[in-house]
Amino acid sequence: MLIIKRILIVLILIISIVLIAAYFMPKEYAVEREITINKPVDSIFNYVKSLKNQNEFSVWANMDPKMKVSYKGNDGAVGSISSWESNVKEVGVGEQEITKITENRRIDFALRFKKPMEDTAVGFMSTEPVSTNQTKVKWGISGVIPYPTNIMLPMLKMDQMIGNDLEKGLENLKDKME
């Protein structure tokens, strides 16, 4: 009986330490990547603001050729939504909605993931002229991992995990545009 009590006390201490550590750990993540493309800013901006076009260069959209995609609203306008449904775990089920457009500068969107787990994030794509025929394109995603699961944030390596896909997507965009 004494051994069981000691084991329980040790377990309670370990759980308490983990919960206290999680309280002080970061809960937010933000990942950004950028690339320079040899095209004028207006042609790139008009291309990337279309949700249908984003599916042409997005790594996630290309992971499952059988993915079901549907669109609502006026594509490339605030309020337009792209929904996807896939049996591939890395793609899952979710939707992306354009929430704000600053013409020739930035598109903001909300990401709502439904499967394999429910989550939300925000993202953006921005375009900035480098010269008359060169544009810097930035793609970013940020979100919050709630307490106490945020204890896993350092182990998830979000910058590497999401960043690699953003980088590959930007390379795909560059190949398409140039």
pLDDT in tens, 121-146: 999 999 999 998 999 999 999 988 87
Q: Stretch 172-177: mean pLDDT, rounded?
A: 93
Average pLDDT over residues 5-15: 85
What is the per-residue pLDDT across 77-101, written as a single tens digit (0 to 9) for each?
A: 999 999 999 888 888 899 999 999 9
Nearest of 62, 2, 42 to residue 128 by alpha carbon:
42
70: left (phi over 0), alpha (psi -120 to 50) or beta: beta
* Strand ranges inside 24-156, DSSP E: 28-37, 68-72, 81-85, 93-102, 106-115, 119-131, 134-144
Q: Which of 61-75, 121-135, 150-164 has the largest mean confidence?
A: 121-135
| CA pair distance 78, 83, nearest whole angstrom | 15
- Residue 153 above 70 pLDDT? no
Query: What average pLDDT score do residues 64-68 get?
Result: 86
Q: Please provide the average confidence, as pLDDT, over all residues in the chain.
A: 89
CB 157, CB 29: distance < 8 Å = no
**Residue 26: its pLDDT value, please?**
77
pLDDT at 149: 75
Q: What 3-state class would DSSP assign to 161? A: helix
On whether the CB atoms of residues 44 and 126 are closer than 8 A, the answer is no
* Element of type H or E holding 175: helix 158-177
Tell which wins on pLDDT, 80 or 147.
80
pTM, entire model: 0.82
CA dihedral for 162, 168, 172, 173, sign (positive or negative): positive
